[in-house]
């Protein structure tokens, strides 16, 4: 018996494990559930090892889309993006190896952490630090570089020490005197406004912010991905009077919203020169960007919102409903909504954006995810399509990146299937934006995801031409010299991309066709669907109070 036990112990001490399996186990230990990618030698083995451990691997058609999907899952689940990239073998470095490139150095510019493990034993330590760095402080992407030889290299099992899962991010709170000062500034406001940003959604601050809105009767605006933290149909939401609210508010409280281009940098003429900002952010470096705040509150958005609530619990205060400010905002909302409804009610064909979005809004499930990208498609859709739940809107965001839509939709659908079965994902695409990642329709069909793609097709980028005008142009010159750069092929049948892979497709030109196709699609959950919606090629937004930040001579 002693000899037998000794032999078994010897066998275990000699047991080998590959670098691929160590990577997968290290990720699993850090509670990483989802992996998106495009595999090839040698990273295929990492994906296979992850699946063996029960992790979900979703194979994409394009690496950009894979990264978009992974980043969206990070936002939805609180486990931000970790990029794992294969690189050339260590013993070939500086020799001109296949795809040799200084990946670690390049990624360091754009990520919170970028490193290359020096050995198999080092892998668990690097991955734990990458995950921890991604979720601590302001969340962000991290990069782990894996040399090709580490993937296949074998090492003794008992030489690998896995680091236990990193602790949840510490919750930081603002300094009490600053919270008192912020409450005082709000109480003394004549024309207050709350702006609810993506940071509030990520910190799950919906309960505390909604209570603050209702308890103090404060008007609020959501940023694009702050929509749904407090429902869009809440009586205190002044999204329909956005420009007026920003321009004339004397005190603005920023809940995880940055004063970047989306909020016009906080500067005149979009804001009063004397406006007082109360800025709440988890990132100290963000405080004071572009405008000097009256008060800064550094900390977790949810925790700081609760601190503010405590101040108003101690000394109750409520902004008067009959104030001149509330009257101004409600009048502007009413007039803007009337203009939008008038545009939506037009019977002329082809349809305009507002007609399309009003008919879509009538049928959307209240708990659906809305993903959107495009120019007018995203901007107009954001004003009409309502979000009632937090973290249920995904769009092009701060960088205005086109091509994110299908990756984001796939991410939302994967999370929905796991955590909220039955929820649908509505992905609203401009026809140009759809072209950036349209091949991911095959991915959607391969995994049979609950996604409805709405392609709002105006035959171009911003604007296009109808088929007759297109034909007339081609009669005079070839397309490369006569067709304006923003034009796409008229009446392209994008729905056939979906049917080619086994999903359902509809080509619609009238409100009735749109209503019927969307109704059928929402009732039939067996397959994904694409509805190709033809609109007037010259359709545009209603008149705006201000130009967009980048002007054009066209």
Whether the pTM exceeds 0.75: the reply is yes
Regions in the chain scoring below 50 on pLDDT: 1-2
Write b or e for each residue in 286-314: b if 16 or more Cβ atoms lie within 10 A of its Cβ, otherwise e: bbebebebebbbbbbbbbbbbbbbebbee
pLDDT at residue number 551: 61
E runs forming strands in 124-257: 142-147, 154-156, 192-196, 220-222, 251-255
pLDDT at residue number 552: 62
d(CA 220, CA 222): 7
Tens-place pLDDT, residues 170-226: 999 999 999 999 999 999 999 999 999 999 999 999 999 999 999 999 999 999 999
Angle among Cα 5, 7, 8 to the nearest 5 degrees reads: 65
Q: Which residues have a Cβ under 8 Å from the Cβ of 328 and sit 6 or more positions away?
A: 244, 248
pLDDT at residue number 19: 97
d(CA 300, CA 200): 9
pLDDT at residue number 41: 83
The closest alpha carbon to 184, from 96, 348, 44, 297, belongs to 297
Eight-class DSSP state of 239: G
pLDDT at residue number 354: 96
pLDDT at residue number 10: 56
> For the chain, what is the mean pLDDT?
94
d(CA 372, CA 380): 10
pLDDT at residue number 8: 56
């Amino acid at each position: 018996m002693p000899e037998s036990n000794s032999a078994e112990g010897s066998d275990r001490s000699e047991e080998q494990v590959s670098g691929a399996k160590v990577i997968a186990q290290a990720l699993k230990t850090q509670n990483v559930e989802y992996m998106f990618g495009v595999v090839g030698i040698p990273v295929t083995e990492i994906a296979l090892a992850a699946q063996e451990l029960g992790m979900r691997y979703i194979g994409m058609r394009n690496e950009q889309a894979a990264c978009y999907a992974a980043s969206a899952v990070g936002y939805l689940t609180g486990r931000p993006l970790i990029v794992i990239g294969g690189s050339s073998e260590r013993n070939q470095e500086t020799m001109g190896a296949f795809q040799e490139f200084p990946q670690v150095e390049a990624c360091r510019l754009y990520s919170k952490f970028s490193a290359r493990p020096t050995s198999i034993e080092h892998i668990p330590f690097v991955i734990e630090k990458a995950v921890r760095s991604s979720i601590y402080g302001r969340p962000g992407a991290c990069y782990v570089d894996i040399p090709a030889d580490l993937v296949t290299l074998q090492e003794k099992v008992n030489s690998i020490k896995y680091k236990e899962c990193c602790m949840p991010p510490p919750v930081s709170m603002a300094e009490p005197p600053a919270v008192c000062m912020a409450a005082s500034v709000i109480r003394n406001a004549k024309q207050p406004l709350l702006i609810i940003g993506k940071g509030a959604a990520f910190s799950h601050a919906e309960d505390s912010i909604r209570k603050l809105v209702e308890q103090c009767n404060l008007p609020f605006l959501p940023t694009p991905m702050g929509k749904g933290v407090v429902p869009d149909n809440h009586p205190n939401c002044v999204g329909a009077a956005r420009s007026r609210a920003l321009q004339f508010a004397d005190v603005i409280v920023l809940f995880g919203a940055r004063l970047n281009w989306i909020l016009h940098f906080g500067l005149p003429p979009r804001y009063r020169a004397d406006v007082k900002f109360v800025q709440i952010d988890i990132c100290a470096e963000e405080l004071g960007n572009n405008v000097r705040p009256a008060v800064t509150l550094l900390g977790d958005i949810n925790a700081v919102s609760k601190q503010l609530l405590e101040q108003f619990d101690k000394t109750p205060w409520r902004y008067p409903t009959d104030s001149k400010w509330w009257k101004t905002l409600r009048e502007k909302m009413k007039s803007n909504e009337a203009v939008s409804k008038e545009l939506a009610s037009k019977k002329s064909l082809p349809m305009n954006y507002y007609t399309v979005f009003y008919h879509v809004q009538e049928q959307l499930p209240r708990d659906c995810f809305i993903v959107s990208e495009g120019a007018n498609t995203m901007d107009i859709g954001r004003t009409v399509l309502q979000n009632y739940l937090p973290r249920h809107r995904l769009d092009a965001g701060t960088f205005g990146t086109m091509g994110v839509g299908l990756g984001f939709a796939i991410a939302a659908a994967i999370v929905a299937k796991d955590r909220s079965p039955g929820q649908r994902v509505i992905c609203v695409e401009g026809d140009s934006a759809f072209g950036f990642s349209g091949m991911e329709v095959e991915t959607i069909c391969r995994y049979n995801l609950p996604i409805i793609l709405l392609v709002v097709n105006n035959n171009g980028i911003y604007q296009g031409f109808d088929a007759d005008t297109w034909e007339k142009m081609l009669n005079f010159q070839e397309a490369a010299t006569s067709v304006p750069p923003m034009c796409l092929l008229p009446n392209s049948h994008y729905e056939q991309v979906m049917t080619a892979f086994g999903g359902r497709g509809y080509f619609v030109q009238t409100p009735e066709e749109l209503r019927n196709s969307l109704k059928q699609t929402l009732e039939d959950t067996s397959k994904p669907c694409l509805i190709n919606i033809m609109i007037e090629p010259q359709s545009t937004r209603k008149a705006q109070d201000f130009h967009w930040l980048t002007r054009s001579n066209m």
